[in-house]
Amino acid sequence: MIEVVGLTKVYRTQKAVQDLSFQVNPGEVYALLGPNGAGKTTTLRVLATLVRPTAGTARVGGLDVGREPIRVRRKLGLVNGGMRVYDRLTGREVLEFFAGFYGLKGKAFQEALDWVAGFLSLEETLDKRVMEMSTGMRQKIVIARAILHRPPVLLLDEATAGLDIFARRALLDFVKAYRDLGNAILYSTHVMSEAEEVADRVGFLHRGRLVYEASKEEALALGEGSLERAFVRTIREAA
């Protein structure tokens, strides 16, 4: 569902991503791991059609992100850490507004709302104003907004940043549940414990390059049971 081949992104003289290649299959969580500045966000921004690559190709659902950005956007959802929604609207109003971008109106919107409300247990949240919601409730609305059109690809970029322990737990449980529906998830983070819990495969980024890729089990074996040890060992060798 996601295919990246030789992806490079240069900002003036700085190479944010260099010759990056990986793929994410249906029903799989691929954790893209690296410290701040490693190129994770740039990679997800390219996949989300927010920036154009300097070289290489990236496809979502077989569609080229540079040539068919509108069709690509219909196939994916995006959740960034710290995403906000309009304080004065209710959860229902927020979702109805964003549903319009996907052509979900009338009966189609109601069916989508019923599905996402059941999947994320939004019943107590829909008719509250965002300003009255807890952190966890707001995050549920952010996630609902991203998956209202049931995208087969979900991009998560440091999605637990700023969340309390309960909201973080709810998000990690959601990731596994959405994967189990057969969807492809690219999970970008520098928090190794999260990747240990949700990932099927991992890729380690260092200065824009993919320096290691393996199943989670293989990475854990490399780190003697610790993904963090495997990551630090690999990055030190690459440096």
Total structural domains within the chain: 2
51-71 tens-digit pLDDT = 999 999 999 999 999 999 999
Same domain, 13 and 33: yes
Same domain, 158 and 71: yes
What is the domain-level CATH number for residue 208?
Answer: 3.40.50.300
Residue 91: inside a domain: yes
Same domain, 156 and 236: yes
Distance in angstroms (rounded) separating the CA atoms of residues 76 and 64: 13
The predicted model scores a pTM of 0.94
Same domain, 232 and 156: yes
Same domain, 47 and 57: yes
Residue 104: inside a domain: yes
Residue 176: inside a domain: no
Same domain, 59 and 127: no
**Domain containing 130: what range?**
83-150
169-223 tens-digit pLDDT = 989 999 999 999 999 999 999 899 999 999 999 999 999 999 999 999 999 999 9
Residue 133: inside a domain: yes
Same domain, 62 and 163: yes
- The pair of structure tokens assigned to 82 is 């710290």
pLDDT given for residue 142 in this prediction: 93
